[in-house]
Chain A
Amino acid sequence: DTGVSQDPRHKITKRGQNVTFRCDPISEHNRLYWYRQTLGQGPEFLTYFQNEAQLEKSRLLSDRFSAERPKGSFSTLEIQRTEQGDSAMYLCASSPRGYRGRNEQFFGPGTRLTVL
């Protein structure tokens, strides 16, 4: 399977703990995105990487959130001092180098975070 993969699929943690999620994009996709989705809503943009450079960050990405893509391949999203409001599905997407403005983003299966 050559799609976007995410690990873990589910994470249950206690409030105040730190969690880290991993995303492996489709091979040769140089763009990688993180989104957050709460129940009954569409995904909301968090941050975007082109290769290893983090080019955009949403205001949703508080200082407790940090994302990295150290070698321009996989990415990690860390949440420090988790709060119950962080409970959501965290989605990763990747897209190939844009051609004529094309921006087809392919999503992984997501990581479901539950903060108790």
Chain B
Amino acid sequence: GQQLNQSPQSMFIQEGEDVSMNCTSSSIFNTWLWYKQDPGEGPVLLIALYKAGELTSNGRLTAQFGITRKDSFLNISASIPSDVGIYFCAGHGETSGSRLTFGEGTQLTVNP
């Protein structure tokens, strides 16, 4: 089945720093989605990507759909304390129907 490798597993940064995390897939994806999850809550959709090479921003967040269609990255600029949480990449390919495959998450800690 499809597998997603997400890195890094955790990050500890100072407020104001930029952050970058990425995901790689064992197979070609048609869709990449990035979510943020707070403790005890469901994932919240941040950015959706549908075309290879697509670069999309949502405020301080920027994500790109890799041109090989097997990777994606998420950047957060000028981090603030409320950016703390777990960030998940997710996606699906041509053979996976509508089910999303999730990465294992990146735990982000922002020190004020």
Residue numbers of A with Cβ under 8 A of B are 4, 6, 31, 33, 35, 40-45, 48, 55-56, 58, 91, 93, 95, 98, 100-110, 112
Contacts and interface: CB of A to CB of B under 8 A. Distances in A.
B45 A42 contact: no
Nearest to B89: A42
Contacts of A41: 104-105
Interface residues of B, number: 26
A23 B108 CA distance: 29
Given A102-B48, A103-B92, A45 B43 contact: no
A58 B99 contact: yes
Contacts of A33: 98-100
A103 B91 CA distance: 9
Contact of A56 (B6, B50, B97, B101): B97
B104 A45 contact: no
Nearest to B44: A107
Given A43-B43, A56-B98, A103-B33, 15 more contacts: A31-B98, A33-B100, A40-B104, A42-B4, A42-B102, A48-B97, A56-B99, A91-B43, A93-B42, A98-B98, A101-B31, A102-B48, A104-B45, A108-B42, A109-B41
Contacts of B105: 40-42
Nearest to A41: B104
Contacts of B88: 42-43
B90 interface: yes
A103 to B, nearest CB: 5
B33 A107 contact: no
B40 interface: yes
B103 interface: yes
